[in-house]
Amino acid sequence: QPHIPLPELALVALVGASSSGKSTFAARHFGPHEVLSSDHFRALVSGSEHTLDANAAAFDSLFYVAAKRLERGLLTVIDATSVRPDDRRRLVDLARAHDVLPVAIVLDLPRGLLEARHEARGDRPFSAAVVGRQQTELRRTLRGMGKEGFRHVWTLRSPEEVEAAWVTRVP
C-alpha cells in the first residue's frame, strides 16, 4: 500500500520506534511548519532535545501548538514515537476535540535494522535495547490501533515500502 491518501484536514501521527525514520519521512513528505516533533519541543523548553525529564513540558507545549493549528483547519503531523496506546490516545482525543480526522502512518521496521541504525547514528542518549523495547511495544499494540480511534492506519513494514510511499491530500 504505497499510496497514502491523507484527508486534507487531519491529525497525522507518525508512529514508530526511535530510528524508524519518522523525522526523515516527515521532512520528505510534509512542510516544515506542518510537523511538530517532540524532540524539537524538548529542545525549545529545556535547551536540549535529549532532556528526558522535560517530556511533560515538551508535550504540553506541543499539544498547545497542535490545538492552535487544528483550530485554523491546518493539517498537523505529530513526530513522536507514540508506540504506547496511552500516548496515542491523547492524539486521538485532541483530533476529536477539534473535529479533525486522526490518522496514523506506522513505520514498523525489523528490530535488527532499527538497532543497527541506532548504533550508526550515535546521537541518542539511550541504548539499542530501548529501541528494541519500543518496537516490541508497537508490535504488541499495532493491531488494536483501529479501535483506538484512528480513522486510517497505514503501516510501512520495510525500508522499500517506506521508500515507495507517496502521500497525497484528498478533499
Q: Which three cell numbers stand for residue 71?
A: 483550530
Neighbours of 142 (CB within 10 A): 16
Binding mask 123-162 for ligand ATP (x = CB under 6 A): -x----------------------------------x--x
Least Å distance, CB 114 to Mg ion, is 12
Which of these, 43, 32, 45, 37, lies nearest to 14 by C-alpha position? 37
Binding status of residue 84 toward ligand ATP by CB under 6 A = no
Residue in 19, 61, 76, 135 binding ligand ATP, rule: CB under 6 A: 19
Binding status of residue 155 toward Mg ion by CB under 5 A = no
Least Å distance, CB 4 to ligand ATP, is 15
Which residues are CB-contacts of 108 (< 8 A; sequence separation ≥ 6)? Answer: 16, 20, 135, 138, 139, 142, 155, 156, 157
Interaction residues for Mg ion, span 23-62 (CB under 5 A)? 23
Which residues are CB-contacts of 95 (< 8 A; sequence separation ≥ 6)? Answer: 10, 11, 70, 101, 102, 149
Q: Which residues bind Mg ion (CB under 5 A)?
A: 23
Q: Which residues bind ligand ATP (CB under 6 A)?
A: 16, 18-24, 39, 81, 117, 121, 124, 159, 162-163
